[in-house]
C-alpha cells in the first residue's frame, strides 16, 4: 500500500509541475528588462537586492519561500521547502533488475535572523528520514562579527568538497557523484569559524565536531576537525551547478580540504548505519581484522581533497581529487584509498535545456587488487525556473570489480524537483 501511494504521488507531482509551468515561471519585470538588454546584470542585482532589503511584513519569493518580518525589522523568519520525486530503473548484471519510485527528499526549512541581522539561524529537516537520526540536516546559529569572521554553532555540513557543499537541489545530474559520496564526511554537530575576504576572493572554514556524524552526540573526549579554503580569482563563485546567467566574465574557483577523525575498529561503528551518519566515508568499511586491524583499537582517519570549478557562457565544469588514509593505533595496519570525478555541462538552449557528462573513479583500498569502481554517465535537464522547478534524467554505467567477478550495472533515473 505504501508503494502505491508513493507511485501515485510521484506521477501526480510530475504532471502538476508541468501543468503549473507557466504560472510558476512568470518572470519579474527586472528579469524581463535584463533579457531584453534594457538593464545590465549589475543593475539587475542592485534592483533585486533593493527589493529584499525593503522588508515587508509578509513576502514570498520563488525558491526562498514565505518571509515574515517584524515591524521593527529586528526579527525575520522564512519558511520554504524542496521536494524531489524520483523514478529509478536498475539493469543489473548479476541479479534481478529493479524498478522503483521514490520520494528522494522532502526538506522543509525555517531560516532568518533574530535581534540583529548579524545573528542568523537555520533549521532544515528531511521528512523522508523522519524516523532516524538523519531527520535534522541543519540546526544552527551563526553570528557575523564581520564578513571575514563568523562563528557557527550547531549541526551543519562538514566543510569538505565543492559538490558535497553544493545543495542536492542545485546539481546538473540527478544526484552527486559516486566519488563525492564515498569520501565526504557528511553532517556533524560542532562549531566552525568561517568567512570571506575581499568580496569572496578567499573563503575559509575551520571546524571542530563530535566526530560521530549526523544527529549523534559524542561519547568520549575525541573530536573531528575539518579545514577548507577556496580561492576565487575572478570573483565569488556560488555553490550551484549550471551557468544560468550565461556568464560573460569567466568565473573560476579552486579549493583544498582536510578532515581528521579518530574512529574505533570492530565495535559496530563501521557498519552501514554508522557510515550513513558519518557521511558514507567509504574507507570505514576497510577497517576490519581481515586487513590487519585489531578488534576495538582506535584508528586515525585522514581525508584530503582538492576541487575546482569553472563557468562561462553557459558552460559549467567541476572536478575533485580525493584521498583518505586510516592507521591503527596499536597495530601496524593501514589502508589508503583515492578517487576523483570530472563533470561538465552546457546549455544547448540558454537557461532551459542543459546536457552534462561525468566520469568518476574510486580505488577503495590501494593495497588490494580487483576492487576498483567507476561511473560513466550523461544527463539532460530541463529548467522551467532554474533549480526551483526542473525535470532531470540521467543514465550511468556503474563498473565494479570484485573477486567474484566484474559487473557493469546500468542505472536510469528520472527526477522532478520543486523548491517553494
**Each residue's pLDDT tens digit, 218-275:** 778 889 999 999 999 999 999 999 999 899 999 999 999 999 999 888 654 443 333 3
Which 8-state DSSP code applies to residue 387? B
pLDDT tens per residue, range 194-220: 999 998 999 999 999 998 888 888 778
Please state, in angstroms and rounded to a whole number, the distance separating the CA atoms of residues 10 and 363.
36
Q: pLDDT tens across 370-416, in order?
A: 899 999 999 999 999 999 999 999 999 999 998 888 999 999 999 99
Q: Is 295 helix (H, G, I), strand (E, B) or coil?
A: coil
* In contact, 150 and 131? CB cutoff 8 Å: no
Count of H helices and E strands in the chain?
7, 18
Rounded to the nearest 10°, the torsion over CA 174, 179, 182, 185 is -90
| Residue 25 banded pLDDT, cuts 50, 70, 90 | very low
* 163-184 per-residue burial string, b: 16 or more CB within 10 A, e: under 16: bbbbebbebbbbbbbbbbbbbb
Q: What is the DSSP letter of 242?
A: S
Question: Are the C-beta atoms of 245 and 44 separated by less than 8 Å?
Answer: no
Cβ-contact 385, 25 below 8 angstroms: yes
The Cα–Cα gap between 179 and 182 comes to 5
pLDDT tens for residues 130-183?
Answer: 878 889 999 999 999 999 999 999 999 999 999 999 999 999 999 999 999 999
In sequence order, the 6+-apart residues with CB closer than 8 A to the CB of 371 are: 363, 364, 365, 401, 402
* Whole-angstrom distance, CA of residue 154 vs CA of residue 133: 15
Q: Are 122 and 140 in contact (CB under 8 A)?
A: yes
Cα separation of 55 and 76, whole Å? 9
Kindly list the structural domains of the chain, giving each domain's residue range(s) and its CATH number in brackets, ordered by start.
Answer: 55-419 (2.40.160.10)
**Which residues lie below 8 Å from residue 380, measured CB to CB, with a gap of 6+?**
353, 354, 355, 356, 392, 393, 394
Number of alpha carbons in the 13 Å side-chain half-sphere of residue 298: 7
Would you say 173 and 343 are in contact if contact means Cβ atoms under 8 Å apart?
Answer: yes
Q: What is the DSSP string of 83-116?
A: EEEEEEEEE-SSS--EEEEEEEEEEEEEEEEESE
Amino acid at each position: 500500500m505504501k508503494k502505491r501511494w508513493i507511485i501515485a504521488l510521484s506521477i501526480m507531482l510530475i504532471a502538476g509541475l508541468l501543468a503549473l509551468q507557466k504560472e510558476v515561471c512568470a518572470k519579474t519585470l527586472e528579469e524581463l528588462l535584463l533579457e531584453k538588454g534594457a538593464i545590465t546584470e549589475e543593475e539587475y542585482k542592485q534592483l533585486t537586492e533593493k527589493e529584499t532589503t525593503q522588508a515587508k511584513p509578509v513576502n514570498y519569493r520563488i525558491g526562498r519561500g514565505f518571509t515574515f518580518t517584524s515591524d521593527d525589522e529586528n526579527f525575520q523568519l522564512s519558511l520554504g521547502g524542496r521536494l524531489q520525486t524520483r523514478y529509478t530503473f536498475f539493469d543489473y548484471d548479476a541479479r534481478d533488475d529493479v524498478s522503483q519510485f521514490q520520494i528522494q527528499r522532502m526538506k522543509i526549512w525555517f531560516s532568518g535572523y533574530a535581534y540583529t541581522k548579524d545573528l542568523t539561524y537555520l533549521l532544515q529537516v528531511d521528512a523522508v528520514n523522519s524516523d532516524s537520526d538523519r531527520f535534522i540536516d541543519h540546526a544552527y546559529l551563526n553570528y557575523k562579527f564581520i564578513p571575514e569572521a563568523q562563528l557557527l554553532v550547531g549541526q551543519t555540513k562538514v566543510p569538505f568538497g565543492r559538490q558535497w557543499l553544493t545543495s542536492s537541489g542545485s546539481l546538473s545530474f540527478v544526484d552527486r557523484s559516486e566519488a563525492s559520496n564515498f569520501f565526504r564526511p557528511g553532517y556533524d554537530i560542532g562549531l566552525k569559524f568561517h568567512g570571506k575576504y575581499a568580496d569572496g576572493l578567499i573563503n575559509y572554514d575551520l571546524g571542530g565536531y563530535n566526530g560521530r556524524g549526523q544527529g549523534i552526540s559524542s561519547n568520549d573526549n575525541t573530536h573531528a576537525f575539518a579545514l577548507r579554503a577556496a580561492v576565487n580569482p575572478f570573483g565569488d563563485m556560488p555553490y550551484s551547478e549550471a551557468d544560468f546567467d550565461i556568464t560573460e566574465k569567466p568565473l573560476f574557483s579552486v579549493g583544498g580540504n582536510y578532515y581528521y577523525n579518530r574512529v574505533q575498529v570492530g565495535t559496530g561503528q563501521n557498519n552501514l548505519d554508522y557510515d550513513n551518519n558519518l557521511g558514507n566515508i567509504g574507507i570505514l568499511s576497510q577497517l576490519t581484522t581481515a586487513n590487519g586491524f585489531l578488534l576495538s583499537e582506535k584508528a586515525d582517519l585522514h581525508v584530503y581533497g582538492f576541487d575546482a570549478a569553472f563557468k562561462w557562457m553557459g558552460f559549467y565544469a567541476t572536478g575533485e581529487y580525493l584521498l583518505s588514509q586510516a592507521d591503527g593505533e596499536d597495530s601496524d595496519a593501514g589502508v589508503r584509498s583515492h578517487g576523483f570525478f570530472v563533470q561538465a555541462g552546457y546549455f544547448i538552449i540558454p537557461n532551459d535545456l542543459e546536457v552534462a557528462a561525468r566520469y568518476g573513479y574510486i580505488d577503495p583500498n590501494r593495497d588490494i587488487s580487483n576492487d576498483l569502481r567507476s561511473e560513466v554517465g550523461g544527463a539532460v535537464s530541463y529548467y522551467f525556473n532554474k533549480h526551483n522547478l526542473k525535470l532531470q534524467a540521467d543514465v550511468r554505467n556503474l563498473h565494479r570489480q570484485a573477486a567474484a567477478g566484474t559487473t557493469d550495472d546500468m542505472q536510469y533515473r528520472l527526477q522532478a524537483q520543486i523548491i517553494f
